[in-house]
């Protein structure tokens, strides 16, 4: 079974190659009125849509880390080392 990343890369390369093949015009020294950009533009947009859809449909290659979190309050000490209060709760994750 082919994984999704090489498949998406291959599809993108083929779309890019098709865009260049369709949109290339013969070299000419004089100015001529050409209407030949529609096909290349259409193929390019279609290729971008296919590659974008493949990337959007793929799942991430990593798993989200599972953290164990809790709220903790740090004590506030006076100059003699006695606890005189607590700070606002802070989220601590392991």
Q: What pLDDT digit, counting tens, does each position of 10-64 carry?
A: 777 777 777 666 655 665 555 555 556 677 777 888 888 888 877 777 766 666 6
Contact (Cβ atoms closer than 8 angstroms) between residue 74 and residue 91 = no
Beta bridge partners of 70: 92
Whether the full predicted model's pTM is greater than 0.75, yes or no, is no
pLDDT at 85: 92
- The one-character DSSP state at 33 is -
Contact 90, 71 (CB under 8 A): yes
pLDDT tens for residues 59-86?
666 666 667 888 899 899 999 999 999 9
Strands (DSSP E) found in the chain: 69-72, 75-77, 83-86, 90-93
> Would you state the pLDDT for residue 80?
93
């Amino acid at each position: 079974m082919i994984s999704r990343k090489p498949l998406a890369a291959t599809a993108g390369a083929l779309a890019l190659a098709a865009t260049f093949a369709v949109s290339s015009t013969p070299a000419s020294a004089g100015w001529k009125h050409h209407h030949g950009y529609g096909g290349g533009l259409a193929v390019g947009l279609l290729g971008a849509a296919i590659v974008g859809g493949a990337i959007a449909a793929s799942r991430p290659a990593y798993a989200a880390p599972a953290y164990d979190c809790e709220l903790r309050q740090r004590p506030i000490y006076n100059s003699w080392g006695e606890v005189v209060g607590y700070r606002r709760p802070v989220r601590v994750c392991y």
